A and B are shown apart, each in its own frame.
Chain A
Amino acid sequence: MKDNNIVSLRNISVDFDGDPILVGLNLDIRDKEFVTLLGPSGCGKTTTLRTIGGFILPKSGDVFFDGARINNLPSYKRNVNTVFQRYALFPHLNVFENIEFGLKVKKLPEHERKNRVGEMLDLVGLRGYDRRNIDQLSGGQQQRVAIARALVNHPRVLLLDEPLGALDLKLRKEMQIELKRIQQALEITFIYVTHDQEEALTMSDTVVVMKDGDILQVGTPQDIYNEPKCAFVADFIGESNILDGVMHEDCLVEFAGKKIPCVDKGFGHLERVDVVIRPEDIKMVDASQAPITGVVESVLFKGVHYEMVVDAHGYKWIIHSTKCQEPGTFIGMAVDPFDIHIMHKEVEG
């Protein structure tokens, strides 16, 4: 439990009505980091969070907090606080009383409660709103109250369960920056659950990609994006072209009917692999000197770039480019060797 891990999950298994949700999950979360659990719905990310929060008792396995085993510690005794998906503010209390709630339960003296709530109101930018009722607040403001209510208790770890899911896009972007600022200002650990890959990449120090109760990859946002470990991660984090390929030798892969140089090594001779190429890494070149050619099928304007679908021998390539080609044009496509990512085939089931 060294290596400044604040939370460690060891071999955690959780069932719901006999359905396994998590099976033998292991995860270490370093102190003072912004960690995001990312995955599609039903992947077990919220269950993992609730296990840390103490709302779910795992069927087997151990939960460690700062080196101590806390399996049977009820949630109200854990030094973590949670920001719930739909905020779960107390409707019978006003803003001030909501934030004060945890301190009052702990029977802190009144002047200290006042000071700490005041600090929190400043931190989340709600100074002057303290006497408002909850139903007089906008979604974004309620979100801030929920964050303040959790942080006022000075937890070592803050758990956030898709806290921005109910907000509109613009507000969500603002709150992402806001959350990151708060996390850095307070120097505490944030464990953040989301299914939004962009959110995960924007805010996190570490991203944990999950699927079907398993952790597929743990790494920095750059690692996860640039070096996805498997086709699922590549596809989930941003868009990808995923093609079937065969590895001929180190740094030579066959796909789309061509043998093309790449930079990956260590695969078996003639092993079947997934070839993953990001849409923005494909360059459109003159068809006569390109390894792969195809016909543009459709073009969508996306603001920063055009998204084109190109049919090459039946596979529909997605290309992002600032240049536009008319549908029906015959074009060539080139990819730099280091932009070709080779991955072992996922074993199904």
Chain B
Amino acid sequence: MKTKTPALPYVLWMIIFTVIPLALVAFYAITDPQGHFTIDYISQVGEYTPVLVRSIWLAAVSSVISLLIAYPLAFWISRRAWNHQRTMVMLVMLPMWMNFLLRTYAWMTILEKNGLINRFLGLFGIGPLELIYTPGAVVLGMIYNYLPAMILPLYSIMTKIPNSIIEAAQDLGCNTWDVLWKVLVPLTVPGISTGVIMVFVPSVSTFIISRMLGGGGNLLIGDLIELQFLGNAYNPNLGAAISLVLMVLILLCMSVTNQFGDEEKGEMLK
């Protein structure tokens, strides 16, 4: 039997920082401030359905657009010479070295009514356009912040596909479109599902991006939770209930994504 001692610190870490907090959230969600069992808060979450739907919708749109941007880029990078690949991967990661808040602030100054874009357009007598405080601005913020999380898993799986596999497909009669759908996409399904999760999950629970770029009209589920814990509406039990529902929804989404990946593979292997 292998010794488990080396794993002990990690197990402790996970108990203290993952298991106990999760249990606390679950506990708060099903009790009232006096500590009595109740499902009132869980049932109240239903009132916020439009916020939930908007969160999931915007996160889904961001994931799809990120995928469409990242897929060709990742493929292009993976076909370069090795030293060029390293440079380009570093360029992709470069924005991540900057603080998340700063990056999002930067977008505010670009999109504002007196921001960079509107002042530029003003030179030609156009505008000012409504750029900031729109759902589009929120989606833009999500894509900008989480795009590297889509590119990296795609790149790392694509770089393992040798050129000869693609040439073999062409040799066997595939045009560019066939190569993409019959070879490239099936081989990169794990990268696609990882990338989608890495963009979707932080997007669906964000509250900074929606607050800074979405204004008051684009309340997301993350904002709602923050409001319950830190805002004036202080109501940790409701906050915990919303968090619990959100977590369950995210887990459902992830299992659907994984299922999709497995199904795709299963069909290929039939």
Contacts and interface: CB of A to CB of B under 8 A. Distances in A.
Interface of A: 53-55, 74-76, 80-82, 84-86, 88-94, 97, 101-102, 104-106, 133, 149-150, 153
Interface string B165-185: 101111111110010001100
A92 B268 contact: yes
B162 interface: yes
Determine which residue in B164, B165, B172, B265 has the highest number of CB atoms from chain A within 10 A of its CB, and name it. B172
B269 A90 contact: no
A305 to B, nearest CB: 40
B171 A81 contact: yes
Contact of A75 (B164, B170, B182): B170
Contacts, number: 68
24 contacts: A53-B171, A55-B167, A55-B170, A74-B170, A75-B170, A76-B172, A76-B173, A76-B174, A81-B171, A82-B168, A84-B164, A84-B168, A86-B162, A86-B164, A88-B167, A90-B169, A90-B187, A92-B187, A92-B265, A92-B268, A97-B268, A104-B182, A105-B173, A105-B178
A180 B84 CA distance: 43
A94 B269 CA distance: 6
A149 B183 CA distance: 15
B171 A92 contact: no
A133 B167 contact: no
Nearest to A94: B269
Contact of B172 (A54, A55, A153): A153
Given A76-B175, A102-B172, A105-B174, A88 B164 contact: yes
Contacts of A53: 171
Contacts of A85: 164
B186 interface: yes
A76 B170 contact: yes
B172 to A, nearest CB: 4
A93 B165 CA distance: 12
Given A82-B168, A84-B168, A92 B174 contact: no
Contact of B171 (A76, A86, A94, A106): A76
Determine which residue in A89, A101, A104, A149 has the highest number of CB atoms from chain B within 10 A of its CB, and name it. A101
- Complex A-B, nearest 8 residue pairs according to Cβ-Cβ distance, in ascending order: A102-B172, A88-B164, A88-B168, A105-B173, A84-B164, A82-B171, A92-B186, A75-B170
Contacts of A55: 167, 170
A105 B181 CA distance: 11
Given A105-B174, A133-B269, A75 B167 contact: yes
B76 to A, nearest CB: 19
Contacts of B183: 90
Interface string B149-172: 000000000000010110111111
B187 A75 contact: no
B187 to A, nearest CB: 6
Nearest to A93: B268
Contacts of B165: 88, 90
B173 A106 contact: yes
B172 A149 contact: yes
A81 B172 contact: yes
Nearest to A101: B172
B166 to A, nearest CB: 9
Determine which residue in A80, A92, A149 has the highest number of CB atoms from chain B within 10 A of its CB, and name it. A92
Contacts of B172: 76, 81, 101-102, 105, 149-150, 153
Contacts of A102: 172-173
Nearest to A149: B172
Contacts of A101: 169, 172, 182
B160 to A, nearest CB: 10
Interface in B174-215: 174-175, 178, 182-183, 186-187
Given A92-B187, A153-B172, 13 more contacts: A54-B170, A75-B170, A88-B164, A88-B168, A90-B165, A92-B268, A101-B169, A102-B173, A104-B182, A105-B172, A105-B174, A149-B172, A150-B172
